[in-house]
Amino acid sequence: MTATAAVLMDARTGQVLYSRNAHLIWPPASTTKIMTALVALQAASLDTRIEISPHVARFREGSVVGLPAGARIPLHDLLYGLMLPSGNDVALAIAEGVSGTVAAFVARMNDEAHRLGATQTHFTSPHGLFNADHYTTAYDLALIARVAMRNPTFREIVGTRQWMFRPPVGPSRSLWNHNRLLSRYPGADGVKTGYVHQSGQTLVASATHNGWRLIAVLLHTGDEWGDASRLLAYGFTHFRSVELARAGEQLAVVEVPGSDRLIAGVVSDDVYGVVAPGEQPVRHVSLRPHLALPIREGEQVGEVEFYAAGHLVRSAAIIAAQGVASENDLQRLVQWVGRLVTHVSSGAVL
C-alpha cells in the first residue's frame, strides 16, 4: 500500500476490514462529487432541466465538460458529465439548478454528511477544488460512498465506462470515465477518482463478488489502481459475508411479570457480518432488566451480539414480536366493551 490513508469497508454493514490513518483530515479533490451526485439525486428528479448560467459556461478551472450558456440540460445527463469526466463546471451547474445557489447546495451537502455520520467532513464546493476548509477522511468517504452505492441510478452512472453526451446546442461527444479500475479489476463497479496538487491522487473504489460489495478509499496514493486492486483482493480473499440472523427470527423468549404470555424476541431486519474463513460466529443475547407491562409491539426488549474469534462482529436490537397490555389496560378494555354492548343493546347513539 502506497496510500497515506486508506479504508476497506463492507458496503452492507459499514464494518471496517482494513484501515490506515482512517481519520486523517485530507482534501478529497473530486471524490467530493460522490456527495454532489447523492444530494442531487435526493433533491431533484432526473428529468429536471437545468439552465446553464453564463458563470458556469465561462468556468474553466480544472476538468470541465464545457457547457453552453442558456442550454437547458436534464439532470440525468449532467450527472454523467459530473461523474465520468469529473466536470467541475457541471458540479456548479447542478448546484445552481438544484438549490438556486452554490452556497445553498453546499449547505445541503454538509447537512447530509453529518446525517450519515461523516462528522470529520466539511465541504465548501460541489467540485472539490482545493480550499483549506474543504476536507474529509478516508472513513467518512467510505460512509458516503456506501450510501451512494445503494442508489440504482448512481450505481449505473459510476459503473459506466463511456457515455454519449448530446447537449441541445453543439456537437455530441463521448464522455469517458476516469476510473480505470472498471477495466482493470474483475467486479469493479464504481465509484470516483480525484486529484488536486494539495491532495495527490485520491480514489474511492467499489467492487462486487457474488453479490458482496466492498468499498476501498485511498488518499494520497502513488499507485491508485494497484493499491485499490490489492486492497479489494485482500478483502475478498481474507473475509466472507455471512447472514447472522433473519428478519423476524426468534432469538429470545421473554417472560414479563404480571403476564401469563411469553413474548418472542426477534430482530427487525436481516443481520449480516463479515468474518474470516473458518470463523463461526457465536451469539450472545441479553435482555433488558426490569421489563414491565405494557410491552408494545416493536419495543426493544434486549440486544444480541455476534462474536467471532473473540471480537464483536455485529450487534442488533431485539424487539417484541407482539405487544402485551398491562392488567389495568385489559380491565379498562373489558369495561369499555361492556359499556359499548350496553349502549348498542339499548339503542343509544354512539
CA dist 322 and 245 (Å) reads 19
Q: Are 27 and 135 in contact (CB under 8 A)?
A: yes
Give the catalytic positions in this structure: 30, 33, 86
Domain boundaries along the sequence of the chain: 5-238, 244-327
**Beta pairing partners, 314:** 306
pLDDT at 149: 98
Give the Å distances, CA to CA, from 90 to 44, 86, 110, 141, 289: 15, 8, 19, 21, 56
C-beta neighbour count of 23 within 10 angstroms: 14
User: By the 8 A CB rule, do 327 and 258 touch?
Assistant: yes
pLDDT of residue 101: 98
> Kindly report the CA angle at 319 between 118 and 146, in degrees rounded to 5?
25
CA angle 278, 280, 281 (to 5 degrees): 140
The per-residue pLDDT for 327 is 61
- Cell for 315? 450487534
pLDDT along the chain (350 residues), means of 10: 97 97 98 98 98 97 96 98 98 98 98 98 98 98 98 98 94 96 98 98 98 98 98 98 96 86 93 95 93 92 95 96 74 44 39
What pLDDT does residue 328 have?
A: 57
Topology adopted by domain 244-327: Peptidoglycan synthesis regulatory factor (PBP3), Domain 2 (2.60.410)
How many residues are given for the chain?
Answer: 350
The residue whose grid cell reads 462528522 is: 119
Q: What is the pLDDT of residue 343?
A: 38
pLDDT of the residue at 347:
42
- For the domain 5-238, what is the CATH superfamily, name and number? DD-peptidase/beta-lactamase superfamily (3.40.710.10)
Q: Are 232 and 3 in contact (CB under 8 A)?
A: no
Output the pLDDT for position 258: 81
